[in-house]
Homo-oligomer: A and B are copies of this chain.
Amino acid sequence: MSQTVDRALSILPLLARGPASLEQVARSLDVHKSTALRLLRTLREHGMVYRQPDQRYRLGARLFALAQEAVENLDVRAVAHPHLVELGAACGHTVHLAVRQEDEVVYIDKVDSRYPVRMYSRIGRPVAITVAAVAKVLLADLPEPERRELARRLDYPRHTPRSTPDATAFLEELARVREQGWATDLGGHEETINCVAAPVRGADGRAVAALSISAPNVVVGADELLRLLPLVRRTADAIGAEYVGRSPADRPHRHEPSHPSPRPSSDPSPHPSPHEENRT
C-alpha cells in the first residue's frame, strides 16, 4: 500500500539470506541505486540493518532485540513457561508452545529434551502448518468458513509420505482434531519424529496457544507417546486456567489489589465472563 515502506521491507528478507551489496539490493528491488541507498540508510538508522566492514549489508541487531522483546511480552508465554519446564522435567521430551498469527503458526517457547540440542531451535520459526500437531490444534477451532478458506490457501508440501496430502485431507483431519480435542503428528514432518499436542484455551474457550511434546520414534513409539497425552492435556488446561485467571497487566484500568474498598454488591470479579479478554 505504501510503496516506499513496501520496498524497504522487501529488503529485509533479502538480507536474511545473507549479506548483500548496495547494487545487489538495488537490482533485486529493481530501483535505482540511490533509492536503495536511501532506504538502506533509514533502515540502518533504526538498527534494522548493519553495514559490515566490507560495506555489504546484513540484518541488524535491533531486529533481534525487537523479536526478543516481543516474544518475552507475549503474555501466554509468561504464564505457560513454568508449566513447560515442569512438563519437560516430568517426561523428558522436547516441549513446545505455539500460537497462530495470520496464516502462520510459530513456536514461541520450547524446553529441550534432556539430550543436548542446539538452542534457538526453531523458536520464532513458522512451523510446517499442514502437518505439525500444534498447528492442527490451533486451526481446528477456527470458525468453519475461515478454516476452509485457510485450507485452500495453504501449500501441502510432502515432507514425508505421511504428510497431509491436500486440503481435503487436512480439513478432515482438523474435524477429527476438533472432535477429540487433541492432535498428533506421526512422522508427518520428520519421518522419525512423533508429536502430540493439546490446546490451551482462553477465556472464550478458543485455543490461544498449543502445547506439544515431541520425541523421536526410536526413544518412544507412537503408542507410548499417546500414553503421555493425559499429562499434556492436563498441563495445557492448567495453563489455560491460569491464563484466564489473571490476565496480566494487559488491563490498564482494573481495580488495584491494594484497594481497601470492600465493593459490597456489584462485584464483577468472580466470573471472568466470556469475551472479557482484552479490554482497553
Contacts and interface: CB of A to CB of B under 8 A. Distances in A.
Interface of A: 1-2, 4-6, 8-10, 12-13, 15-19, 21, 38-39, 41-48, 50-52, 54, 56, 58-73, 81, 85, 101-102, 104, 106, 108-112, 116, 118-120, 122-126, 250, 277-278, 280
B104 A61 contact: yes
Given A38-B1, A66-B67, A101-B60, A280 B250 contact: no
17 contacts: A1-B42, A5-B8, A9-B43, A13-B66, A16-B69, A16-B73, A17-B73, A44-B102, A47-B104, A51-B102, A54-B278, A59-B66, A62-B104, A63-B67, A63-B70, A64-B106, A81-B118
A66 B68 contact: no
Contact of A250 (B18, B42, B67): B18
A71 B70 CA distance: 16
A123 to B, nearest CB: 7
B73 A278 contact: no
B9 A68 contact: no
Contact of A6 (B42, B54, B61, B123): B42
A61 B125 CA distance: 8
B119 A110 contact: yes
Copies in the complex: 2
Given A47-B104, A50-B102, A54-B277, 17 more contacts: A5-B39, A5-B42, A5-B43, A8-B9, A12-B46, A12-B66, A16-B66, A17-B73, A18-B250, A19-B278, A47-B101, A61-B124, A64-B123, A65-B125, A67-B68, A68-B125, A81-B118
Contact of A52 (B45, B61, B278): B278
A52 B43 CA distance: 26
A146 to B, nearest CB: 11
Nearest to A12: B66
Contact of A119 (B44, B111, B122): B111
Contacts of A104: 47, 61-62
A182 B177 CA distance: 56
A108 to B, nearest CB: 8
Given A72-B120, A124-B64, A277-B54, A2 B4 contact: yes
A48 B8 CA distance: 12
Contact of A38 (B2, B17, B65): B2
A8 B7 CA distance: 12
Contacts of A124: 61, 64-65, 67-68
A4 B1 contact: no
A116 B85 contact: yes
